[in-house]
Structure 1
């Protein structure tokens, strides 16, 4: 890793323009996405607005809603859209007040009117190397050096967006290096098992999801006995040779259940820690995700802005959400994934953790050559989540964002996102038609990749 990474000059110029707009404003409207990255970016934005003595109001939304935007900007002199907006520029350009977009989704185009801050516009992949929280922290530190202490908030979003999984890159490297020098963020060694007493950590584990151990007390006891660990110690208190034995047994089980070495390497990624807040950013990301999915975004935002009671409540929500994910993952694993020719899918038994369960199935249980799709019935419609891996995207040529956009549109819905993870909504009763269409599109993407490879 280059030890002196800098922000690209063309991104810095955009951020300076955004900082000038913030400085000129007195009342700011903030609208952000309701996931971990959206909450992380909103936490950074609201914090620097508060420190700048700006009057502001923040709304967390499930997605871009032009009516929501238009109905909520009266009497404000600046709008900041975070973790969305790059594909809604026409609507934003027509607004009567200045607009800043802090996004990382692949944009439809650039804009001369909107202050458009997106890694893709400067040659950086927003799916892996700079998310909304990254861009928000970069803006915050352009506004004031004092805002580097918001790094813990941003890294909750960065980790929540899984941009740390294969090591930091792009904007995230710059942010980490600068925060580390200021002793705001520390990097800790990878660890296969989460912190806490081993029996509880193994029983509750969904990352990794260990078949026969996760959610199985007898399986946990047998694994610990096989590793020669007889006490319910925290992982860090176990002697090194026992740690190695335990890690080897877990790795072997994961490989036997179909996990690839690449997936195993992903979970063995660096861990980021805030010494000031005394928390791991992964735990913060899980808490933010739980708040977002439980429609308690205000709780998550209050936690990020320093409310200690909110933090206690968010941490409890994180634990409850983790148990719901474990329960759902166990049920889906027991029933098995339904198989198409090019995709695998399941009907989620839970409305709250369907996208997370989709990720668990893709990474630890399912066929590693097929994207995994979850369908959830909620509010008279069907919510779609999809996950792939780098092999499916890079080697097989799959782009889930494009595929979901086309397949949902075909059946009267809408969707999109990143190449490796995407989502959408379709009308109730259109599930079978959607699955057929998505399977066909994924097959076409793979065939095109193969044809291009053969042509070379």
Structure 2
């Protein structure tokens, strides 16, 4: 039995099909979840003795699927996408171009228009080898990521393949957790649902540690003052966005927080020192009137990759996922894949350089939004970055902006960025409470985009689309109406 029993049958069928292939073209998405999906799947194929080639795509549309078909592979494994494009993929399958195997967690496509768009019945497009949590009633947005689906497939490959990899590929669980964390699947800071089975296998395999710790980003690599200064998830007056204030706070604790004149990182501290800093940080938040619910999120569940060196981005699942985002989103998916597959020399050095550039671009993008502001409709808010923010990171910037000054956390945000002269990329981000009220950005992106001649999809809390240039306002109008309907805001 695999880590997600409900998916055992689908995983076994997919694994058996892959084992019958002479060679496999592995196609995957370019975000952290897509990279870890490709890494898990490629390592599993390699261990099973199945020849393969990896290609990455920013998006999977008709043109890209046609380019995959032109590669003349009889078997194509899609990871972290494919379900949402199954209608198009199925056409190629029926034409005999290739046989697809899909390990994904996105909403499956339907034949024809969606019910909410046309008011007519639709049926899900079908293929024989399709591994997706949504098909067995599991939430693909919070319970299993693309990397998780690839891990379930990898575990099945270990069972049906000609070779038996050590520990049944359980050592790949750490990468699957990085993918889930990078795909924002942590609910209140903790992985839930089917993801917990993967965490348990990773812990048992000795590659993962689940613990309780400070939840601030950068515990492995940031000097302590920067860790607190940049901790804007829970703004603490006098510390967050205040370098001098963060230093004064740390110096007031009477601890040895420097080594050879340099600030230590959180990872350098002893357990007692961490307890002292964390307790003082919570006390300061209470004194400065930070809401109790926000204070509670300062401490939460953390996921550590135990075989990676302390003090590196690779040891913390959140930092690892950010490192990966900094590779493929800048056209270097090969670098991220190499890091995931174990390259700790040239690829890691290159990834760290890309990460520095990525952080600078995110900071500049957030500053741009704060300077320009966003446009508020009745039910959504949006901004058009044009070519000022890369279309591969505009969604990340939008998510960072939610809840900042002038950006309403009670409305989903839409972010436009120029893709080329003919097309515009749209990214959307919501919040857990909005999803709880009925928001489904996957449907919003798909239906609004199709209404203007584009297409889209994704998850309920985060989704994307591509629309013709010049149709941005029409897209906003359509999205605003769909969100109003979902949230019951229609007058």
Q: TM-score, normalised by structure 2?
A: 0.81
Kindly report which structure 2 residues correspond to 1:39-438, keeping only aligned pairs within 5 A, or say none: 39-73=35-69, 74-93=71-90, 94-95=92-93, 96=96, 97-108=98-109, 113-144=127-158, 145-166=167-188, 167-193=190-216, 194-195=218-219, 196-205=222-231, 207=233, 216-218=242-244, 220-221=246-247, 224=250, 232-235=263-266, 237=269, 238=273, 240-249=275-284, 255=290, 261=293, 268-278=299-309, 279-308=315-344, 309-348=346-385, 349-351=388-390, 352-362=392-402, 366-380=407-421, 381-395=423-437, 397-438=438-479
Q: Does the 8 A contact of 1:110 with 1:116 survive in 2?
A: no
| Aligned-pair CA distance for 1:174 | 1.0
Equivalent-residue separation in structure 2 for 1:321 and 1:286 (angstroms): 9
- In structure 2, relative to structure 1, the CA distance for the partners of 1:55 and 1:151 (3 Å cut) is same
Equivalent-residue separation in structure 1 for 2:207 and 2:414 (angstroms): 38
| Aligned-pair CA distance for 1:14 | 0.8
Q: Does the 8 A contact of 1:37 with 1:157 survive in 2?
A: yes
Q: Does the 8 A contact of 1:227 with 1:249 survive in 2?
A: no
Unaligned runs of 5+ in 1: 452-456
- In structure 2, relative to structure 1, the CA distance for the partners of 1:405 and 1:111 (3 Å cut) is closer
For structure 1, which segment, 211-220 or 75-84, has the greater mean C-alpha deviation from structure 2 after superposition? 211-220
Equivalent-residue separation in structure 1 for 2:444 and 2:88 (angstroms): 24
| Aligned-pair CA distance for 1:337 | 3.3
Aligned residues: 441
SS of the residue corresponding to residue 287 of structure 1 reads: helix
| Aligned-pair CA distance for 1:100 | 0.7
Q: Does the 8 A contact of 2:395 with 2:415 survive in 1?
A: yes
Q: Does the 8 A contact of 2:226 with 2:243 survive in 1?
A: no
Q: Does the 8 A contact of 2:2 with 2:152 survive in 1?
A: no
- In structure 2, relative to structure 1, the CA distance for the partners of 1:343 and 1:220 (3 Å cut) is farther
| 2:37 is the alignment partner of 1:12 | no
Equivalent-residue separation in structure 2 for 1:210 and 1:314 (angstroms): 31
SS of the residue corresponding to residue 83 of structure 2 reads: coil
| Aligned-pair CA distance for 1:234 | 2.7
Q: Does the 8 A contact of 1:254 with 1:364 survive in 2?
A: no
- 1:155-211 Cα deviation digits (max 9, x unpaired): 221111111243222221111111211212111323133313112223444655778
Q: Does the 8 A contact of 1:102 with 1:118 survive in 2?
A: yes
| Aligned-pair CA distance for 1:425 | 2.0
SS of the residue corresponding to residue 49 of structure 2 reads: coil
SS of the residue corresponding to residue 359 of structure 1 reads: helix
Equivalent-residue separation in structure 1 for 2:252 and 2:418 (angstroms): 42
Unaligned runs of 5+ in 2: 110-122, 159-166, 310-314
For structure 1, which segment, 268-277 or 36-45, has the greater mean C-alpha deviation from structure 2 after superposition? 268-277
SS of the residue corresponding to residue 338 of structure 2 reads: helix
Q: Does the 8 A contact of 2:29 with 2:59 survive in 1?
A: yes
- 1:345-377 Cα deviation digits (max 9, x unpaired): 233442253211111122555322211222222
Q: Does the 8 A contact of 2:148 with 2:176 survive in 1?
A: yes
Equivalent-residue separation in structure 2 for 1:316 and 1:102 (angstroms): 31
SS of the residue corresponding to residue 465 of structure 2 reads: strand
For structure 1, which segment, 57-66 or 117-126, has the greater mean C-alpha deviation from structure 2 after superposition? 57-66
| Aligned-pair CA distance for 1:153 | 1.9
- In structure 2, relative to structure 1, the CA distance for the partners of 1:252 and 1:286 (3 Å cut) is farther
For structure 1, which segment, 105-114 or 129-138, has the greater mean C-alpha deviation from structure 2 after superposition? 105-114
Q: Does the 8 A contact of 2:214 with 2:278 survive in 1?
A: no
Q: Does the 8 A contact of 1:358 with 1:387 survive in 2?
A: yes
| Aligned-pair CA distance for 1:114 | 2.9
Equivalent-residue separation in structure 2 for 1:40 and 1:223 (angstroms): 38
Q: TM-score, normalised by structure 1?
A: 0.86
For structure 1, which segment, 227-236 or 122-131, has the greater mean C-alpha deviation from structure 2 after superposition? 227-236
Equivalent-residue separation in structure 1 for 2:360 and 2:196 (angstroms): 33
- In structure 2, relative to structure 1, the CA distance for the partners of 1:324 and 1:269 (3 Å cut) is farther
SS of the residue corresponding to residue 435 of structure 2 reads: helix
Q: Does the 8 A contact of 1:184 with 1:276 survive in 2?
A: yes
- 1:75-133 Cα deviation digits (max 9, x unpaired): 43321011111133233334223321111012135566430100011110001001110
- In structure 2, relative to structure 1, the CA distance for the partners of 1:244 and 1:336 (3 Å cut) is farther
Q: Does the 8 A contact of 2:394 with 2:427 survive in 1?
A: yes
Equivalent-residue separation in structure 1 for 2:286 and 2:133 (angstroms): 35
